[in-house]
Amino acid sequence: MQISRRNFLIGGTCIAGAIGAAGYLHLGPAADAQLTPVQAHERALSGDILLIDIRRPDEWAKTGIARGANPLDMRRNDFAEVLTNLANGDTNQQIAVMCARGVRSRRLSSQLTDAGFTQIIDVPEGMLGSFAGPGWLARDLPVNPYAPPS
């Protein structure tokens, strides 16, 4: 049985696309726990969790910062140290992490677990929505404007 060049190329493209998608979707182990933005907002305001917005300052400037969240750019060299300070030194405190669409928060969750934090919670919808749901902004949850340090 011979396969035409056209069908071979189409099939190869489909296989390559499937492999690429699988690699993109497998971003490492997810946090053991997850919250919707509504749950994260309620629990942050009640003091049950420490909610961390791990996006970049330019992203905070565009959308604002989720009300109840602490902005902490995940690219900081001292990220774990600052997070430990925000948690008052308690690495067993429940800490929920949120980004734009759940990709970075998922990756960071496993890194924080490796760094000794024991109660990491992912907010996979993020600010802008993802496969997990519509996100903080689409759910009309409140935001605070970002004021860059002077």
Which pLDDT tens digit goes with each residue over 63-98? 999 999 999 999 999 999 999 999 999 999 999 999
Burial 50-60 (b: 16+ CB within 10 A, else e): bbbbbbeeebb
Q: Which residue has the tokens 């726990």?
A: 33
Tokens, residue 125: 């919808």
Measured CA to CA, the distance from residue 91 to residue 80 in angstroms comes to 10
**Residue predicted with more confidence, 62 or 20:** 62
Domains of the chain: 33-144 (3.40.250.10)
pLDDT over 70, % of the chain: 79
Residue 26: its H or E element = none
